[in-house]
């Protein structure tokens, strides 16, 4: 078996890369290998599905804006359903020391509509929110992503453009010769010879890259999400609430609420199970921010990984040391909103075009002293 490009991982990173390679007519000879029986079942299927482009880091924001543009206006044939429900994102100023609203405003991308609300306005926008607040900001065009349609749209487009996608295909080793990757070995014992290996394995990416001798470091961290039982007082299209003075967000989900205490704990990717202690933390934050729902029955709790590079920016580009090794990883907490930008950039770079300034910002070589300087 042989391929021009082997993509390891069938989450947002791998699928968007495959999609954009196919879209530029370079899908032939590309094989995507996903260990699970289905695509998008790890972080890309276990996240909060929030489209938030208001972010402090200018490069992540730029990628988020490009990703959001794609989500609002995908290419013809990508899907016949909207990929975003723009329910709005409400940022109430509460807690001990919320940042000044002007500081938060400065993190908004150009052109994003942001309304300043007083306390009554905050309550009216999201009646399920109930903490004392001086006011807040509402971004009415941020919202919820249809994750299933996004993942399937990438996969459909990739296949249509000639990419081979294999599920149940676990990569156990990367083979190198003279400092270059030459093949990947599968759990089945098969070997796939290839010119380029794209590591897009989420929380497992660092481990796989290390098999080829890469020094690029990634930090998988665990975050929990909880959902509560359906409650008729919750408007299913109320805005997402993301508090400014505390690490907490919530949004309507399946008739109840989806809750997150924004936990971040380093984790072994093979042991990212639920820590029951999270429920207490969430209960305390719900009592503080959504007092009417304190004690609401929790019906599901799960955990998944947000994986970070050292500076928390994405890693998209060639490995600084190992020839033929290419990274699309470290997507942290923004991999769904920025997926189209990341895949588009990866496909450009694999096609030899490094003209986008994002290429320098996300260059894996930046930690090896070999990265080009990036200025926002």
Ligand X SMILES: Cc1cc2nc3c(=O)[nH]c(=O)nc-3n(C[C@H](O)[C@H](O)[C@H](O)COP(=O)(O)OP(=O)(O)OC[C@H]3O[C@@H](n4cnc5c(N)ncnc54)[C@H](O)[C@@H]3O)c2cc1C
Dihedral (CA of 64, 278, 149, 25) sign: positive
Q: Which is nearer to ligand X, 17 or 288 (CB)?
A: 17
Would you say 48 or 101 has its CB closer to ligand X?
A: 48
Give the tokens for residue 323: 């020839």
| CB nearer to ligand X: pick between 288 and 341 | 341
Minimum distance from CB of 65 to ligand X (Å)? 13
Considering the complex, what minimum distance in angstroms separates the CB of residue 85 from ligand X?
A: 13
Closer residue to ligand X (CB): 12 or 163: 12
Instruction: Please give the structure tokens belonging to residue 128.
Output: 């399920």
**Nearest partner of 283 among 265, 251, 261, judged by Cα:** 261
Tokens, residue 232: 């008729």
CB 232, min distance to ligand X, A: 25
Nearer to ligand X, 132 or 276 (CB): 276
Q: How far is the CB of 203 from ligand X (least distance, A)?
A: 6
Smallest gap from residue 31 Cβ to ligand X (A): 11
To ligand X, the closest distance from the beta carbon of 333 in angstroms equals 5
- Give the binding site for ligand X (CB under 6 A): 8-14, 33-36, 41-44, 47-50, 170-171, 200-204, 208, 223, 225, 304-306, 329, 331-337
Nearer to ligand X, 11 or 88 (CB): 11
């Amino acid at each position: 078996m042989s391929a021009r490009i082997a993509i390891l991982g069938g989450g947002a990173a791998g699928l968007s890369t495959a999609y954009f390679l196919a879209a530029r007519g370079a899908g032939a000879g590309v094989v995507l290998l996903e260990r699970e029986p289905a695509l998008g079942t790890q972080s890309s299927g276990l996240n909060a599905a929030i489209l938030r482009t208001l972010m402090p880091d200018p490069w992540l924001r730029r990628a988020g804006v490009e990703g959001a543009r794609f989500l609002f206006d995908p290419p013809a044939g990508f899907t016949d359903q909207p990929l975003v429900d723009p329910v709005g994102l409400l940022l109430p100023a509460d807690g001990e020391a919320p940042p000044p609203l002007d500081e938060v405003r400065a993190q908004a991308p150009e052109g994003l509509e942001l309304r300043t609300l007083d306390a009554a306005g905050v309550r009216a926008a999201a009646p399920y929110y109930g903490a004392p607040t001086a006011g807040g900001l509402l971004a009415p065009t941020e919202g919820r992503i249809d994750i299933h349609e996004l993942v399937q749209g990438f996969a459909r487009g990739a296949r249509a453009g000639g990419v081979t996608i294999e599920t149940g295909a676990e990569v156990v080793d990367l083979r190198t010769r003279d400092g270059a990757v030459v093949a990947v070995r599968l759990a089945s014992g098969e070997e796939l010879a290839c010119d380029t290996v794209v590591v897009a394995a989420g929380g497992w990416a660092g481990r796989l890259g290390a098999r080829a001798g890469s020094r690029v470091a990634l930090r998988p961290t665990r975050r929990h999400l909880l959902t509560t039982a359906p409650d008729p007082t919750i408007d299913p299209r109320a805005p997402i609430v993301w508090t400014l003075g505390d690490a907490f967000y919530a949004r309507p989900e399946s008739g109840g609420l989806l809750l997150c205490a924004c936990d971040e704990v380093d984790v072994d990717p093979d042991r990212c199970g639920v820590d029951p202690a999270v429920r207490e933390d969430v209960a305390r934050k719900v009592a503080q921010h959504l007092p009417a729902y304190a004690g609401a029955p929790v019906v599901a709790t799960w955990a998944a990984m947000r994986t970070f590079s050292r500076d928390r920016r994405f890693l998209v580009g060639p490995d600084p040391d190992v020839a033929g090794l290419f990274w699309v990883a470290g997507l942290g907490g923004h991999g769904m909103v920025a997926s189209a930008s990341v895949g588009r950039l990866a496909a450009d770079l694999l096609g030899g075009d490094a003209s986008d300034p994002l290429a320098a910002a996300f260059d894996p070589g930046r930690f090896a002293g070999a990265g080009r300087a990036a200025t926002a």
